[in-house]
Amino acid sequence: MLHSFWDSDAVEGAPHEEQLQPEERPQDAGAEPGTLAVSADEFSGLEDRILRAVQLVKRERAARVAAEERAAQAEAQLREQAPKTEELEQELNALRAEHDHVRERVERLLAQLDALEL
């Protein structure tokens, strides 16, 4: 099983570095105490993951900005068309009232015609 430098138990049975006395701690040539030795492959893999994460965040931010712009445009259109919608609703109500009035007049005329035929 492969272990990464993030695994705290990379070597089973080995004591943790914090548990060792300062003279027992492994030291890399030129490394400062407390630094973590990372292989080039591990560092490259980490760098790739970080770059992909940064690109993902950039894409998501751009998508969010685009979505906010579309939402703002839709709200502006809604505000523009609200008065027209109210006007059309009033016109529709007036046409319905006129339709009812015309229907009542036609029904009265038909009733008068029926009365004449008797």
Q: Output DSSP code: residue 12.
A: T
Q: CA gyration radius for the chain?
A: 40
Output the pTM of the full model: 0.46
pLDDT at 56 over 70: yes
Note the pLDDT tens digit of each residue in 13-32: 445 555 555 555 555 445 55
- The confidence score (pLDDT) of residue 118 equals 66
- The confidence score (pLDDT) of residue 35 equals 67
For residue 4, give every residue at least 6 positions away whose Cβ sits within 8 Å of its Cβ, in sequence order, or none: 10, 42
Note the pLDDT tens digit of each residue in 62-104: 999 999 999 999 999 999 999 999 999 999 999 999 999 999 9
Q: What percent of the chain has pLDDT over 90?
A: 58
- The confidence score (pLDDT) of residue 51 equals 97
